[in-house]
Amino acid sequence: MDIIDLHDPQRVNRTPDDVKILFSSGSFVQDEFKIFHVELRHYHERTDKKLGDYSLITSFVKTDKGNVEMIYDEGFRGENSLSRTAAFLMSNLGISGLILRSVISLRGAK
């Protein structure tokens, strides 16, 4: 089962402009879900002359019971928005919250 948790799934109906892998070695268990892979995906949507680049950053979590892609952040975030977001997640234990949100989405989709 694949879940795209966005109001408009067409926003991610293409290859991301950039990807940062946060977890990809082995697996661990969150409740009854085995987590294999966690990444952030960056989609550049438009550029404003005054505000700069508009970015959509999604999380993608691969489990033994399905995959989930959902919005993590969006807006005019400037350059290197994906790298800054990944660094924030890694330094603030944000990965566990991101995984928990994904597991909740998978449970709700049953």
pLDDT digits (tens, 9 = 90+) for 27-85: 788 888 999 999 999 999 999 999 999 999 999 999 999 999 999 999 999 889 999 99
Which sign does the torsion angle of CA 63, 64, 68, 69 carry?
Answer: positive
- Token digits for 89? 């997640």
| pLDDT value, residue 27 | 75
User: CA 82, CA 94: separation in Å to the nearest integer?
Assistant: 14
User: CA 42, CA 23: separation in Å to the nearest integer?
Assistant: 16
Residues 6+ apart with CB under 8 A from 71: 5, 6, 56, 57, 58
Residue 2, pLDDT > 90, answer no
First vs last Cα of the chain: how many Å apart? 9
Model confidence band, residue 94 (pLDDT cutoffs 50, 70, 90): confident
Q: Would you kindly state where each structural domain of the chain is located, as residue ranges? A: 2-108
| pLDDT value, residue 15 | 96
Phi, psi of 102 (to 5 degrees): -65, -40
H/E run at residue 97: helix 94-108
User: CA 48, CA 51: separation in Å to the nearest integer?
Assistant: 5
68 and 1 in contact (C-beta within 8 Å)?
no
